[in-house]
Chain A
């Protein structure tokens, strides 16, 4: 299915890279031969990073080769040369200069970038957009469970991965992990931990009086055990939140330690915040640059913390939607549609831009204002998890991403 890949890559100026695979997804109609069994001897790790607030994909991965880019972006346009030059990817797309680690991983074949991507959601509410992204449903309003939780629940019972549960980082777990399957929780500690005797007494009391609290506490205790065995200190620290580089690093370090542990969860989700850059977004420097630098540092933390299992790891970075193609009246960007997603890790068949570029002329924009989405993020996610965990197309289309039968798993993402 991706035999044409190399040809496509050589067609770079036409912006049709990977179209072979992207086109195939609409023709998807068979159960893949690797259903369940073909996960083989790999012990995969999958981490989903949600960027809350809507990442400006046109600044993170600027299409500097597009003749309409510079005029649309005006004061915040990135340049291919000069003191803060963007980092070259394929001669048409560049990477924001605040992301040298991602550039290195891309160059070494360990990262792919999906552009002009979106979920099926076409309005512009952050909160509905995040709900759709995380619930995996076709539209908003169905938030009982998240798609990573249903993914775990869809794996064969007794399967090691499902028994280990899904890790949701944060005091408030992201929707994408919520649901019936076991959820583990962890957040960078800020308080001195309570003694184990008090914990046991409360487990006892909740066991008699309150099944909901009992379940939550027992899962917290399980995670803490893994954290202790994997050598995390548990020492309380202050420091930045998930919208600062420091906070992102602590979250990434913690998630990597837990997911990298022998007895740890294999699937995790975490969220970084602050991407809603309505005003004074900045170009090569400024607010968005700081956030992208934080994300870049977190990717390096994953690579470092997961070193022994990096070859079996995929980190997927997604956001609820993109931002307006044109810079707004306050040197920022308003809510838009198409944006980027990143696939990073030793298991990624990387070094590729995965894109069917729609162009930036007024008539090529969605609603005459946003980057038009040409790739459905669900197809990308389905492609990654089907190859990592051996889930079949029908299971993915019915349980994990309900109503997504028309969007097949994109093939050839995982090497």
Chain B
């Protein structure tokens, strides 16, 4: 039998590394949380969401180009009609310009909607939620934002499925390459537009480098801002990855909307990055640079500190960060080994729960606890209000990851508004909020929260109090 303190640590662990206890889950989970988390790592491949509208980025790209062409034709048709109407007042209605059904969003948003819904379903069905939390973490580390363009909007879900999810227990280098070569990233950080000034195309046209992606690779994806690079490294990495682009609608280099290396855009030469020259041919040059960046000690330190800060505490324990960084270096970025080291660490396991759940974690944990299956609107509305909708951070540094950001006065107040709404929606399906609170919070439940829930003036209020209790909010 587990001792009371083990039982408490296990319950903290389920919230810290997973998505919390779900309604209808067997109580056995509580007594074997750590084993289940480790077994999930050993399975290596997290499940993929089902019921998504397109299987992959290439298929989506073709659909996107077709959609944009259709929109353009309709716009032109409308313009023609309008000018005809102006000339001939009684012009008949134009069949090309059939308006869309009133409630049907355009293809990019519809795809985003279906991707979010599939993503949420998977998280609600997960046993511990560890894989889903890691997908969130890495998706935010290598973030794209759906608000940038039609392409990032329609591909944001596919990007996570293709570039992030398969690698969360794989190699960091593979995730890095998958992320930086994904059409969504190449569009989000403009590399698809970047042209080597000395490349065949660059010499013909008045176009050149765009260093946006190169800078963020060094600053945000690998070394970190204090990782020891300079402006010249940013510019040279931009040169190294010229030609990493997205196939256009003319499908010259492959399937429309898929990744391609376009040698015609690639800057010739042997630019040094961090003092080492890269002279490989074509795409190999970038792959060689990524391989070195993925193994750089600054990358190991940066990933370690971000992981500990996300999962354990805003002020990470230096010893734990050192340990994880050492594992990262020793295994050359084996993310299963790094995740395992985090969960096996007693420092990570026994730390007091101080971190406030992010809005996405809070939403998923709440729907698991209440046993509800939300529709898209019930997901995106609260997440917009709380400031963390899926795949829409305001910059390439992703969503913040600290109590300062999420436990702000306005943040806490908005959570209460959201929890009040969920309490009202769930009240009909929860027979006894007191029993539910005992189930969900288990050994974490304090006498004060128990009393507050018991004294609530209504079922909705009791549920809102459970969801907003410190035990549910912090992990």
Residues on A lying within 8 angstroms of B by beta carbon are 52-53, 74, 123-128, 140-141, 168, 170-173, 175, 178, 183-187, 189-195, 197-199, 201-202, 204-206, 208-210, 212-213, 216-217, 219-221, 223-224, 241-243, 273-274, 276, 278-279, 328-330, 332, 334-335, 367
Interface string of B448-468 (1 = CB under 8 A from A): 110010011100010011001
**Additional pairs, 16, CB under 8 Å, beyond known A173-B404, A279-B212:** A52-B395, A123-B231, A127-B395, A171-B386, A190-B414, A194-B420, A198-B416, A201-B465, A205-B470, A209-B469, A216-B409, A241-B147, A278-B190, A328-B208, A330-B207, A334-B210
Q: Are A205 and B452 in contact (CB under 8 A)?
A: yes
Give the shortest distance, in Å, between B123 (CB) and chain A (any CB): 22
Would you call B465 and A328 a contact (CB within 8 A)? no
Contact A334 B408, beta carbon cutoff 8 Å: no
Check A128–B225 contact: CB distance below 8 A. Answer: yes
Contact of A198 among B202, B448, B465, B469 (CB under 8 A): B465
A173 touching B410 by the CB < 8 A rule? yes
Q: Are A52 and B394 in contact (CB under 8 A)?
A: yes
Q: Are A172 and B400 in contact (CB under 8 A)?
A: yes
CB <8 Å contact, A223 and B208: no
B385 pairs with A220, CB closer than 8 A: no
User: Which residue numbers of B lie inside 8 Å of A, CB to CB?
Assistant: 147, 189-190, 193-195, 197, 202, 206-212, 215, 219-220, 225-226, 231, 234, 381-382, 384-387, 394-395, 397, 400, 403-414, 416-421, 446, 448-449, 452, 455-457, 461, 464-465, 468-470, 473-474
The answer to whether A194 touches B464 (Cβ under 8 A) is: yes
The distance from the CB of A62 to the nearest CB of chain B, in whole angstroms, is 21
Do A279 and B193 have beta carbons less than 8 Å apart? yes
**List of A residues within 8 angstroms of B394 by Cβ:** 52, 241-243, 273-274
Cβ distance A145 to chain B, nearest Cβ, rounded Å? 10
Interface of B is mostly: helix
Q: Which of B212, B410, B419 has the most CB of A within 10 A?
A: B410
Which residue of chain A has the shortest Cβ distance to B220 in the bound complex?
Answer: A127
Chain A residue nearest to B359 in the complex (CB): A171
Among A124, A189, A192, A201, the most chain B Cβ lie within 10 Å of the Cβ of A201
The reply to whether A201 and B456 form a contact with Cβ atoms under 8 Å apart is yes
Known: A190-B381, A195-B420, A334-B211. A171 touches B464 (CB 8 A): no
Contacts of B147 in A (CB 8 A): 241, 243
Q: For the complex, give the distance between the alpha carbons of A140 and B219 in Å.
A: 14
Chain B positions within 8 Å of A204 at CB level? 452
Known contacts A201-B452, A205-B448; A329 and B208 CB within 8 A of each other:
yes
Contact A191/B381 with A127-B397, A172-B405, A209-B448 known, Cβ cut-off 8 Å: yes
- Residue of B147, B416, B419 most packed against chain A (CB within 10 A): B416
List B contacts of A53 (CB < 8 A): 395
Given contacts A197-B457, A205-B448, contact A140 B387 (CB under 8 A): no
Interchain pairs with CB closer than 8 A, number: 181
Q: Once the chains are docked, how many angstroms separate the CA of A329 from the CA of B214?
A: 14
Contact A190 B412 (CB under 8 A): no
Tell me the bound Cα distance from A135 to B208 in angstroms.
Answer: 35
Interface centre among A175, A191, A205, A276 (most CB of B within 10 A): A191
Known contacts A202-B465, A209-B446, A329 near B194 by CB under 8 Å: yes
A172 and B411: CB pair below 8 A?
yes
Contact yes or no, B452 A329, CB < 8 A: no
Residues of A with C-beta under 8 A to B408: 168, 171-173, 183, 185, 216
**A220 to B410, Cβ gap below 8 A?**
yes
Chain A residues lying within 8 Å of B420, measured Cβ to Cβ, are: 192, 194-195, 198
- Nearest-neighbour CB distance to chain A for B172, whole angstroms, equals 21
> How many Å lie between the Cα of A248 and that of B416 in the bound state?
25
Residue on A nearest B219 in the bound complex, by CB? A125
Cα-based distance from A220 to B473 in the complex (angstroms): 17
Shortest CB-to-CB span from B186 to chain A, Å, is 12
**In the docked arrangement, what's the CA distance between A208 and B410, Å?**
21
Contact of B210 among A224, A243, A329 (CB under 8 A): A329
Indicate if the CB atoms of A205 and B225 lie closer than 8 Å: no
- Given the known A-B contacts A194-B464, A220-B412, are A212 and B403 also in contact in the complex, defined by CB atoms under 8 Å? yes
Given A191-B414, A194-B416, are A140 and B225 also a contact pair (CB < 8 Å)? yes
- Shortest Cβ-Cβ A-B pairs, 5 listed: A329-B208, A185-B410, A185-B409, A194-B420, A220-B413
**If the complex has contacts A192-B421, A330-B193, A330-B207, are A367 and B449 also in contact, measured as CB distance less than 8 A?**
no
Bound form: Cα–Cα A111–B469 in Å: 48
From A185, A186, A276, A367, contact of B231 by CB (8 A): A367
| Residues of chain A with a CB closer than 8 A to B207's CB | 329-330
Residue of A nearest to B412 (CB): A216
Residues in B with CB closer than 8 Å to A178 are: 404
* Cα-based distance from A183 to B409 in the complex (angstroms): 8
Question: Is the Cβ of A184 less than 8 Å from the Cβ of B409?
Answer: yes
How far in angstroms is the closest Cβ of chain A from B312?
17
Within 8 Å by CB of A185, from B413, B456, B465, lies B413
Query: Is there an interface contact between A172 and B406, defined as CB atoms closer than 8 Å?
Result: yes
Query: Given A124-B215, A202-B468, A205-B452, do A217 and B231 touch, yes or no (CB 8 Å)?
Result: no
List chain B residues, Cβ under 8 A from A74: 206
